[in-house]
């Protein structure tokens, strides 16, 4: 009897201890986890802004709504799918599959970075208790207020705010420092100021779109550079895409052609081959050539056709008439080895080192792999390929006394408070040609503008040096030329006497009235040169043809969120600004009327509840 009593007592003790343990565990869960589950912690990192050279914001971080689910709380998945499908624009069965899928983690995303409109509609359903286990979570996202205008420069980030292309990719760790260990302290990435001038970018993009549409081209690329220091002023690849919705566009539209694609340049390349022959001492400016319409190498039994019969010409005549025969004759005065080496010194066959991913090396085979016709063929811009960035970079030798410069797309890197961490300045690479040869080439190209293939570039009061090109495009599958696909191009430098701008235009496979660079690319350069000389205050002998009223492209869908950043409000009307600020509860002071001319704090400044935005309208 005594033993039985002890057994009962032990059983009671065990049960009591078990109940106490369960209560303790539940207490711990409530105290530590709360009454409802919480999502995984989001790193407290604010990605830095990307800005143009004048501080115009091209990319900034903001909070965006995402739709999340908690598997342990989900109920009525079929009904939830029916309610969400029309709002998200996704088929009901796809949402249902996602909601009922087995997964390792209880917390999961249903849809990342949805629109504010969709988030508002879903929030109403959640408040009415119609979406069990589903919630709206705010996470860090990226906004590109200039959209297509600067897409190929900024690139874009993925859903996890990690750079996938462009500056966002190449400077990812500068824009967003990696957290070594979890921290409750917010960290800020650095701001990246580019060399791009947004006004010039706008002019250039409009010109690219116009020639693209008028000639039914496959693509148009236009790049301009500060002739004195190698800074990229504008960088346009068209067609473009909207980095805010990059996944809606094709690979072709997202391709950064200026850096990633190389073509046979055609006759534009004669700039560099003639400069090479002059530098190597094979020819002089006074050397004479007789062009009968075809270059004939009787020893090796091959011919190279010319664009016409140019008769007795000097070296400048080769540039003026884009003479294949004269170029081929000049190529016989130097060795293949010497020509190869100087073309390598110009940068052909190797990357420029510009801060973009996927840069092409182009093609320049070593001289010991050349055939008997390679030397004259390469000299006229065939049997070689180069990207637009390689072509314009090589042209810096003509504007810097023969010295090649490294191209820059990044101007400086600063902290969020404006402290400069790194600044990029003029970076000479090597001397390629003499100052005398550089001057000679500029003058020959100016003569081409006056009376050659570049004459459509002529602008009253502005001396401009131009060279045009028309090249067949190679079929990558066969290695042979397409019969009816061409690359129309032109390279220009202005003003000739004191170069400030280099510009290079390529039009891929135009299908309009013409295929020639002299008829398609040259008018684009003339139009842009007028815009540039007005915008950059370039001195000319007489007044420009017309004065351009610079209109800043307007940012789209500006959203201001407390604890976000101050957006760029310049050129917005007073009515639009007041509407935006009052909608978001942001304090402001206004002076004047018209459009925003000045704002304080500057765009990119951290915005909190105490911030007062002061605006001057003119």
For residues 194-206, average pLDDT:
98
pLDDT(553) > 70: no
Q: Is the pLDDT of residue 558 over 70?
A: no
Q: Is the dihedral of CA 326, 319, 504, 367 positive or negative?
A: positive
Name the pLDDT band for 543 (thresholds 50, 70, 90). Answer: very low
Q: Pick the residue with more confidence: 532 or 2? A: 532
CB-count burial class (<10 Å; 0-12, 13-18, 19+) for 324: buried
- Under CATH, what is the fold of the domain 199-535? Beta-lactamase (3.40.710)
Using CA atoms, how far apart are residues 149 and 154, in angstroms rounded to an integer?
10
The 10s digit of each residue's pLDDT in 327-362 is 999 999 999 999 999 999 999 999 999 999 999 999
Query: Which sequence spans correspond to the domains of the chain?
Result: 1-35, 45-194, 199-535, 574-617
pLDDT for the residue numbered 113: 78
pLDDT at 164 over 70: yes
| Residue located via tokens 């139009």 | 527
Q: Tell me the average pLDDT of the chain.
A: 87
CB 259 within 8 A of CB 387: yes
What integer pLDDT is reported at residue 5 of this predicted model? 53
Is the Cβ–Cβ distance between 76 and 132 less than 8 Å?
A: yes
Confidence band of 587 (pLDDT split at 50, 70, 90): confident
Cα–Cα distances (Å) from 340 to 125, 276, 380, 433, in that order, read: 70, 10, 14, 14
pLDDT tens profile 414-424 = 999 999 999 99
**In this model, does residue 69 exceed pLDDT 90?**
no
| Statement: residue 33 has pLDDT above 50 | no
For residues 565 and 49, what is the distance between their CA atoms, to the nearest angstrom?
Answer: 10
Strand partners, 430: 404
Of the listed ranges 58-62, 337-341, 580-584, the one predicted with least confidence? 580-584
What's the whole-number mean pLDDT along residues 296-303?
94
Looking up tokens 């997964």 gives 103
pLDDT of residue 255: 96
- Most confident range (mean pLDDT) of 4-18, 173-187, 371-385 is 371-385
Q: Is the pLDDT reported for residue 609 higher than 60?
A: yes
Residue 271 parent element (H or E): helix 270-280
Cis peptide before 598 (omega within 30 of 0): no
Examine the pLDDT at 4 and tell me if it is beyond 50.
Answer: no
Which residues are CB-contacts of 121 (< 8 A; sequence separation ≥ 6)?
Answer: 87
Per-residue pLDDT averaged across 298-302, rounded? 93
Q: Please give the pLDDT value at position 545.
A: 35
Q: What is the pLDDT of residue 42?
A: 54
pLDDT at residue 182, as a whole number: 57
Domain 45-194, CATH among 3.30.450.20, 3.30.1360.30, 3.90.550.10, 3.90.1310.10 = 3.90.1310.10
State the pLDDT at residue 304: 97
pLDDT of amino acid 231? 99
Please state the rounded mean pLDDT for residues 372-392: 98
What's the mean pLDDT in 13-17?
53
Specify which of 122-131, 180-189, 370-379 reaches the highest per-range mean pLDDT. 370-379
What integer is the mean pLDDT of 464-490? 95
pLDDT band at residue 38 using 50, 70 and 90 as cut-offs: low
Taking residues 447-468, report their average pLDDT.
Answer: 95
**What pLDDT is stored for residue 39 in this prediction?**
53
pTM of the model: 0.79
Peptide bond into 495 cis (omega under 30): yes
Could you read off the pLDDT of 206-218 as tens digits, one per residue? 999 999 999 999 9
What integer pLDDT is reported at residue 273 of this predicted model? 99
Q: Which residue has the higher pLDDT, 307 or 7?
A: 307
Cα 303 from Cα 9, distance rounded (Å): 112
């Amino acid at each position: 009897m005594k033993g039985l009593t002890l057994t009962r007592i032990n059983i009671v003790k065990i049960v009591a201890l078990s109940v106490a343990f369960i209560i303790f565990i539940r207490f711990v869960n409530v105290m530590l986890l709360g009454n409802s589950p919480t999502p995984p912690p989001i790193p407290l990192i604010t990605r830095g802004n990307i800005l143009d050279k004048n501080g115009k914001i091209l990319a900034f971080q903001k909070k965006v709504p995402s739709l999340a689910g908690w598997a342990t709380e989900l109920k009525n998945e079929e009904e939830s799918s029916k309610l969400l499908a029309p709002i998200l624009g996704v088929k009901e069965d796809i949402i249902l599959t996602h909601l009922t899928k087995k997964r390792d983690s209880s917390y999961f995303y249903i849809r990342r970075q949805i629109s504010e409109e969709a988030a508002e509609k879903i929030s109403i359903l959640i408040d009415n208790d119609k979406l069990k286990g589903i919630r709206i979570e705010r996470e860090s996202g990226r906004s590109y207020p200039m959209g297509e205008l600067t897409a190929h420069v900024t690139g874009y980030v993925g859903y996890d705010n990690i750079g996938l292309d462009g500056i966002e990719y190449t400077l990812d760790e500068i824009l967003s420092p990696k957290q070594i260990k979890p921290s409750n302290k917010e960290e800020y990435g650095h701001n990246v100021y580019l060399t791009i001038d947004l006004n010039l970018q706008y002019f250039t993009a409009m010109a690219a779109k116009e020639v693209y549409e008028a000639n039914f081209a496959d693509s148009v690329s236009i790049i301009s550079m500060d002739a004195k220091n190698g800074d990229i002023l504008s960088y346009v690849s068209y067609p473009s895409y909207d980095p805010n919705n990059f996944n809606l566009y094709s690979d072709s539209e997202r391709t950064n052609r200026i850096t990633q694609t190389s073509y046979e340049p055609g006759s534009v390349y004669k700039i560099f081959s003639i400069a090479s022959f002059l530098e190597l001492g094979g020819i002089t400016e006074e050397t004479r050539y007789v062009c009968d319409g075809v270059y004939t190498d009787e020893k090796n039994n091959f011919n190279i056709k010319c664009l016409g019969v140019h008769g007795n010409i000097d070296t400048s005549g080769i540039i003026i008439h884009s003479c294949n025969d004269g170029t081929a004759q000049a190529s016989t005065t130097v060795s293949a080895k010497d020509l190869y080496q100087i073309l390598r010194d110009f940068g052909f066959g190797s990357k420029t080192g510009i801060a973009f991913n996927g840069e092409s090396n182009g093609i320049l085979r070593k001289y010991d792999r050349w055939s008997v016709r390679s030397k004259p063929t390469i000299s006229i811009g065939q049997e070689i390929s180069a990207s637009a960035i390689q072509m314009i970079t090589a042209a810096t030798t003509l504007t810097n006394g023969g010295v090649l410069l490294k191209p820059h797309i990044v101007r400086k890197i600063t902290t969020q408070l404006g402290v400069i961490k790194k600044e990029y300045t003029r970076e000479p690479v090597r001397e390629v040609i003499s100052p005398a040869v550089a001057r000679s080439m500029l003058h020959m190209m100016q003569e081409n503008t006056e009376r050659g293939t570049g004459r459509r570039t002529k602008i009253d009061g502005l001396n401009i040096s131009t060279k045009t090109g028309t090249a067949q495009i190679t079929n990558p599958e066969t290695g042979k030329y397409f019969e009816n696909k061409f690359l129309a191009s032109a390279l220009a430098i202005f003003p000739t006497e004191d170069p400030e701008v280099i510009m290079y235009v390529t039009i891929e496979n135009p299908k309009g009235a013409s295929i020639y660079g002299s008829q398609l690319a040259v008018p684009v350069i003339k139009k842009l040169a007028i815009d540039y000389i007005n915008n950059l205050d370039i001195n000319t002998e007489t007044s420009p043809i017309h004065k351009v009223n610079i209109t800043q492209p307007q940012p789209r869908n500006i959203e201001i969120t407390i604890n976000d950043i101050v957006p760029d409000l310049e050129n917005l009307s007073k009515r639009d600004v007041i509407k935006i600020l009052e909608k978001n509860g942001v304090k402001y002071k206004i002076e004047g009327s018209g459009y925003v001319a000045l704002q304080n704090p500057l765009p990119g400044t951290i915005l909190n509840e105490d911030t007062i935005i002061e605006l001057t309208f003119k």
